[in-house]
Chain A
Amino acid sequence: MNPWESNVLLPAVYGLYAAVSIGLTVWLARVLGSNGALFLRDVFPEKDELARAVNKLLVVGFYLVNLGWSALQLKGGRASTLQEAIETLSTKLGTLLLTLAVMHFANLLVFQRIRSRTRSRNQLAPFRPDTWVNPYAQQSGYVQTASAAAPSAGV
């Protein structure tokens, strides 16, 4: 039987695809995990445990979605010849990479929106104040009094 016929190369394509997709997913998850932690520490100040927990949950979700999608993409394609095998492999990997890119940027967008909503409080005012008043003037009923006299020092 000619090894270059009847999709004989398909298992090899599958194996290569599985190895590359798993490796890519793990690497991307590590990048997301380590850099996402910085975003989350900003979102949850003084709550490191919560930031770490949310980060781990997001990474788990990332693994599930991407490995699941990679597994679904595995099936199919033609690999009767070496050329067909390479084309099938590149099509599968290309689709996977584009999907991972979309997911990656979607995650960044979500992080950024969460962060910008949190940072909007206690932000620096974009415009300089026109004047300053005693902060207690905004409490109703407060009337500013003159300075109290200091005790005289032996006149």
Chain B
Amino acid sequence: MHNNLVTYRLPAPPLHPRVSDLTVYFDGACTMCAHCRTLFAKRAALIPLRWVDARGQDAVAMRAACPGLCDELHVATSDGAVWAGANAFRMVLWASAGWHTFATWLDFPILHELSSFFFDWLAAHRVFAGQLMGIPVCTNAHCAAKVHRT
């Protein structure tokens, strides 16, 4: 007696999926992230944004699906498309009313690299950037952690 696993061949996911809404998984323990969330929440959004703390109960299953969820900014659609790090940052800009057109330019080669560098630097130096922006620095050890890219 043996178990037969039924394999379904799914169609390949689209290279550029349709986006009707976005869920942003941010680090709730980071004051910089919370400040950025407040800034974006005040702006009008062309694509509805749902903000979820990556360390909270609402993200339990997503943490299992994406092991690096708490280490980097993640953005996901309801269809399962996920962007991480600098790509997630660009998607949040694209979803905002005032930054929508600018975000599409960030797909061009030089601007793409510059924006990736900017985001990686910001993520790795949150304490210093927070001090520059006048944001209260979080006191736990997590905020001082550098972002390690695999």
Do A and B assemble together?
yes
Q: Are A147 and B18 in contact (CB under 8 A)?
A: no
A109-127 interface mask toward B, CB cutoff 8 Å, 1 = contact, 0 = none? 0000000010011111111
Partner of A129, one of B6, B17, B20, B103: B17
Q: Looking at chain B's contact residues, is the secondary structure mostly helix, strand, loop, or mixed? A: mixed
B80 at the interface (CB under 8 A from A): yes
Q: Are B16 and A125 in contact (CB under 8 A)?
A: yes
Please provide the chain A residues from 117 to 155 with a CB less than 8 Å away from any CB of chain B in the complex. 117, 120-144, 147, 149-150, 152-153, 155
Q: Are B18 and A131 in contact (CB under 8 A)?
A: no
Chain B residues with CB under 8 Å of chain A are 1-6, 13, 15-20, 23, 46-47, 57-62, 64-66, 76-85, 87, 90-91, 94, 100, 103-104, 107
Having A124-B17, A126-B94, A141-B60, one finds 19 other A-B pairs with CB under 8 Å, namely A120-B100, A125-B17, A126-B90, A126-B107, A127-B83, A128-B16, A129-B17, A130-B82, A130-B84, A132-B82, A137-B61, A138-B23, A138-B61, A138-B78, A140-B61, A141-B61, A142-B61, A150-B4, A150-B6
Chain A residues with CB under 8 Å of chain B are 117, 120-144, 147, 149-150, 152-153, 155
